[in-house]
Amino acid sequence: MTLEPQSAPAPAAGASEPIWFASYPPGVPRTIDPDAYPSLPAMLADTCARNAERDAFECLGTRIGYAEWDRLSRAFAAFLLEQAKFRPGDRVAIMLPNLLAYPVAFFGVLRAGLIVVNVNPLYTPRELKEQLTDAGAVAIVIMENFAHKLEAVLPETRIRHVVVARLGDFMPTLKRTLFNVVNSYVRRAVPAWRLPSFTMLQEACHRRPSARYADAQPGAATPALLQYTGGTTGVPKAAVLTHRNLVANAQQCRAWIEPNLGAEQGRVLTPLPLYHIFSLTANLLAFALMGGMSVLIPDPRDLKRLIATMRSAKVTTMTGVNTLFNALIHVPAFAALDFSRLSFAIGGGAAVQSAVAKRWHEITGSELVEGYGLSEASPVVCINPVRKPKIGTVGPPISSTEVSIRDDAGQLVPVGEAGEICVRGPQVMQGYWQRPDETRLVLVNGWLHTGDIGALDAEGFLKILDRKKDMVNVSGFKVFPNEVEDVIVHHPGVLEAAVIAVADPHTGQAVKLFVVKRDPALEAPALIDYARERLAPYKIPKTVVFVDSLPKSNIGKIIRKELR
């Protein structure tokens, strides 16, 4: 299952050019070169060499530069190859929040020729086991706060080496010790855990590579990342993103963003987790390519610390989801910040509400622009012009990207009419991991059929009209009804269950659960407690409704649209 690399082709002689080119801001090229680098680690090694004197990341008041990022990641790559004895193509899970450990582990895994598997630290042991098993991961880099989850399922996976990170990793010695002690014994954020064997990340990265060590040289079409998503069918699966996919999308983001940053090359606030593909590409990769600095936020829910970080870091831009922007604009301390260096903010992962964008502009004097993407496209497909965004749209397709709107028969529809959004470009995934049948459903002649409904206006701006029919989008995190239903129906008091999305003023959408009882005495609190033990917090139903029956089709399939 291999898809030939695709770039957006130039119009044929005499053919009209895409309507969105006329809407491109000054300085943004129509195309990028997806083959400018042979691989993602080659791109990152090059930017480390070019920006050796610059700061690359800041987290909890500690900075590491590009030269240090290069040294630490090279040492970790050598550890993986020379001591742990992994081979090219092996999958390594990374289960970390936004700490200095993440970029070090990510770059190290890639330059060893291995494949990264991003894992959400909020996962329960059940969810963790299922993802590790599906990916066939043989190693994991995990923060000690979550090691107890791994302990519970380790024997049921193929993991043969565990690397444990700590909160203070890569900080100066005294500060590192203080942060680790506070995390473990003051905040009591590290539940007791015991693993048969493991290596501490700090120690692995201080191991000196042998004289024979050399970075791996994966091909452009080689998988670099397994990014788990619901895809277009709602069942969690991994989008296989190649080195070329990620190199291309990093360059596409750079081409759109860099003309608006000035001489400072950008200092980007990174509150969204790096295991989320939007943050990984738009923040870590794109700003690394520009020689910028990413200010990592381990917990964006701590608004007080987040605002304090913004005050001290003097960021020039940031990314986020509507939920975060909405929370910030309602905090007086945020409005009191100095926004003179803030050029713009980009919202993704979920729709940016127009009222939030308007209030953001009133407070900061800068634009909050909306973009569109999906994991299967690495993820960015469209971004609004930073200086003149068109509210209510997600902007035109970015460089080297084509978007077409098609009807149910796969035929193009006229401008302004609604249909399925289809995407073609060098950032489109290779396919779904070990799911060739599902890959063939969504990749047709190089076009990715997204399952989203939208329309292109006369200027080539894309408007999203409807999301995937059944998926629930909670603060940018995808919740798949099938998974929640599968957990709930295992409760002995439940006969049938169905999940839909409902609007929520805080998270954009929330999970609403309909249940047909098996046990007449069953109450909603018991179901919520049951779900909390088995699902990540954002997947837990916010509302439970008991019904006598669920609407079904003539073949017995639950009709969710009637529940809506």
Q: What percent of the chain has pLDDT over 90?
A: 79
Q: Is the separation of the CB atoms in 169 and 121 below 8 Å?
A: no
Q: What does the pLDDT read at residue 322? A: 84
Distance CA 411, CA 406 (A): 5
Q: Could you report the per-residue pLDDT of 379-401, keeping only the tens digit for each? A: 999 999 988 899 889 999 999 99
Cβ partners under 8 Å of residue 27, min gap 6: 259
- Residue recorded with tokens 């998270």: 507
Q: Work out the pLDDT band at 467, boundaries 50, 70, 90.
A: low
Lowest mean pLDDT among 94-98, 461-465, 480-484, 510-514: 480-484
pLDDT at 3: 34
Q: How distant is the alpha carbon of residue 345 from its chain centre?
A: 17
Give the residue from 214, 41, 167, 44 showing the smallest Cα distance to 116: 41
Please check the confidence at residue 106 and state whether its pLDDT lies above 50.
yes
Taking the whole predicted model, whether its pTM rises above 0.85 is answered as yes
Residue 26 reports pLDDT greater than 60: yes
Across the range 475-500, mean pLDDT stands at 87
Q: pLDDT tier at 11 (50, 70, 90 boundaries)? A: very low
Are 470 and 481 within 8 A, CB to CB? yes
Residue 541 Cα distances to 156, 501, 546, 550, 563, angstroms: 28, 10, 13, 17, 15
pLDDT of 471: 77
> For 171-191, what is each residue's pLDDT tens digit?
999 999 999 999 999 999 999
User: Per-residue pLDDT for 72 more than 80?
Assistant: yes
Distance CA(28)–CA(254), nearest Å, equals 9
Residue 413 tokens read as 């529809």
Dihedrals phi, psi of 269, to nearest 5 degrees: -80, 130
Torsion angle, CA of 456/460/463/467, rounded to 10 degrees?
A: 70
Between 229 and 243, name the one with better pLDDT: 243
CA dist 451 and 478 (Å) reads: 14
Q: Return d(Cα 388, Cα 86) in angstroms, integer.
A: 49
Grouping H, G, I as helix, E, B as strand and the rest as coil, residue 442 is helix
User: H/E element holding 253?
Assistant: helix 243-257
pLDDT in tens, 416-464: 998 899 999 999 999 999 999 999 999 999 999 998 888 999 999 999 8
pLDDT reported for residue 468 = 57
Q: What is the mean pLDDT of the chain?
A: 91
> Tokens standing for 258?
């860099």
Bridge partners for 225 per DSSP: 116, 241
**Alpha-carbon span 546 to 32, nearest angstrom:** 53
What pLDDT does residue 501 have?
92
Among 325-329, 330-334, 403-407, the minimum mean pLDDT is found in 325-329
Rounded to the nearest 10 degrees, what angle do helices 481-488 and 524-532 cross at? 110
Listed residue (324, 346, 325) closest to 268, CA to CA:
346
Q: What is the pLDDT of residue 418?
A: 86
In the sheet with 293-296, reading across from the earlier edge strand, the strands are: 62-65, 55-59, 293-296, 267-270, 317-320, 344-347, 367-373, 380-383
**In order of start, what are the domains of the chain with their CATH numbers?**
39-218 (3.40.50.980), 472-563 (3.30.300.30)
The predicted structure's pLDDT at residue 440: 96
Looking at residues 60-84, what average pLDDT do you find? 97
Rounded average pLDDT over 236-260: 95
The helix or strand, by DSSP H or E, that contains position 562, with its residue range, turns out to be helix 560-563
Lowest-pLDDT range, 16-20, 139-143, 233-237, 314-318?
A: 233-237
- Tens of pLDDT, residue by residue over 124-135, are 999 999 999 999
Largest CA distance in the chain: 72
Q: Phi first, then psi: give them for residue 435, nearest 5 degrees.
A: -135, 70
Minimum mean pLDDT among 140-144, 195-199, 370-374, 496-500: which range? 496-500
The pLDDT of 465-470, averaged and rounded, is 67
Could you write out the DSSP letters of every residue in 55-71? Answer: EEEEETTEEEEHHHHHH
Give the span between the Cα atoms of 221 and 492, in whole angstroms: 47
- 314 conformational bin, left if phi > 0, alpha if psi -120 to 50, beta if neither: left
Q: What is the pLDDT of residue 387?
A: 86
DSSP codes, 115-169: EEEE--TT--HHHHHHHHHHHT--EEEEEGGGHHHHHHHGGGS---EEEEE-TTT
pLDDT tens digits along 290-324: 999 999 999 998 999 999 999 999 899 999 988 88
The C-alpha atoms of residue 411 and residue 554 are separated, in whole angstroms, by 29
- SS3 of 520-537: CCCCHHHHHHHHHCCCCH
pLDDT at 555 > cutoff 70: no
